């Protein structure tokens, strides 16, 4: 039975997708304003979220529906561990913890993994397909915004086991469309995907305060340097 679930997910989450892109933290990021401390907090939160998703996918890998869309080559936990080691050092596990919003997100993933594993399709679609679709663009922004060297702190965006990302996305969408789901479950998955966007937005919003503070400090430093240079120029002119 064909469900057209991928189409329903794309159409049914358009508004949520747009709202997520308009959160201040993401708008700044897309414009190239990337502050390392805020970004590494995001990486830490994503580590806990993906750890939960991948734990539940693995636990339910023999489930008749989950088994169809469980592609281990999408897993991000290991790449996020590499990035956390870059941003925090080798003892990163002692320094990171999920924020309040991340804890809520993780709790929801474990909840559906135990009670309604089919809904993991919503979280898989929302996170992994987004990572594949915009990964290289976001990687470039992160590299330029934080002046990173090649391969530094951007393992999250690299899918070594997926050489043909366009082809894989087509395969993934077809898999979603081929899931044997009734109309009611498809609607629940679309609803869950919208909730997933909301959970992501709350994580982004938590980071806005840190980002605004960092930008304010950068502006203050720039103005201070300018005033100092101006005072020096006046002294030179007076002499």
**What pLDDT does 134 receive?**
83
Q: Greater confidence, 235 or 54? A: 54
- Using pLDDT thresholds of 50, 70 and 90, give the confidence band for residue 106: very high
As a whole number, the mean pLDDT across the chain is 89
Q: What is the pLDDT of residue 151?
A: 85
pLDDT score, position 215: 44
Give the per-residue pLDDT at 239. 54
**147-184 residue pLDDT tens:** 999 889 999 999 999 999 999 999 999 999 999 999 99
Q: Cβ of 186: how many Cβ atoms within 10 Å?
A: 20
Instruction: Give 84's contacts (C-beta < 8 A, 6+ positions apart).
Output: 40, 43, 44, 47, 92, 96
Question: What is the Cα–Cα distance from 166 to 68, expressed in whole angstroms?
Answer: 19
pLDDT in tens, 117-144: 999 999 999 999 989 988 888 899 999 9
Structural domains for the chain: 5-209 (1.20.910.10)
Residue with more model confidence, 26 or 106:
106
State the Cα–Cα distance between residues 175 and 27, nearest whole angstrom.
32
CA distance 215 to 31: 13
Q: What is the DSSP string of 6-43?
A: HHHHHHHTHHHHHHHHTSHHHHHHHTT---HHHHHHHH
Nearest to 136 by CA among 108, 156, 111: 156
Question: What gap in Å lies between CA 185 and CA 61, rounded to an integer?
Answer: 19
pLDDT of residue 150: 86
The pLDDT tens digits of the residues spanning 188-202 come to: 999 999 999 999 999
Coil vs helix vs strand at 76: coil
8 Å CB contact between 197 and 13: yes
What proportion of the chain, given as a percentage, has pLDDT over 90?
A: 75
Confidence of residue 232 (pLDDT cuts 50, 70, 90): low
What local confidence, expressed as pLDDT, does residue 228 receive?
53
What are the pLDDT digits (tens) for 210-231? Answer: 654 544 444 434 445 555 555 5
DSSP-derived letter for residue 156 is: G
């Amino acid at each position: 039975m064909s469900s057209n679930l991928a189409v329903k997910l794309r159409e049914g989450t358009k508004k949520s997708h747009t709202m997520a892109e308009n959160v201040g933290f993401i708008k700044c990021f897309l414009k190239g304003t990337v502050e390392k401390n805020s970004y590494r907090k995001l990486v830490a939160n994503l580590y806990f979220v993906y750890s939960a998703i991948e734990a539940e996918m693995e636990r339910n890998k023999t489930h008749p529906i989950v088994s169809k869309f469980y592609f281990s080559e999408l897993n991000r936990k290991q790449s996020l561990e590499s990035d956390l080691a870059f941003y925090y050092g080798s003892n990163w596990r002692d320094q990171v913890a999920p924020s309040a919003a991340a804890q809520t997100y993780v709790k929801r993933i474990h909840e559906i993994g135990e009670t309604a594993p089919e809904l993991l399709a919503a979280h898989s679609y929302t996170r992994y397909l987004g990572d594949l679709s915009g990964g290289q663009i976001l990687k470039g922004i992160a590299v330029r915004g934080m002046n990173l060297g090649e391969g530094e702190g951007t393992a999250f965006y690299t899918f070594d086991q997926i050489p043909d990302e366009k082809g894989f996305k087509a395969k993934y969408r077809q898999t979603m469309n081929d899931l044997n789901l009734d109309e009611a479950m498809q609607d629940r998955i679309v609803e869950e995907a919208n909730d997933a966007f909301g959970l992501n937005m709350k994580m982004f919003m938590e980071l806005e305060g840190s980002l605004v503070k960092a930008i304010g400090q950068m502006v203050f430093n720039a103005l201070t340097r300018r005033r100092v240079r101006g005072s020096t120029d006046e002294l030179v002119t007076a002499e």
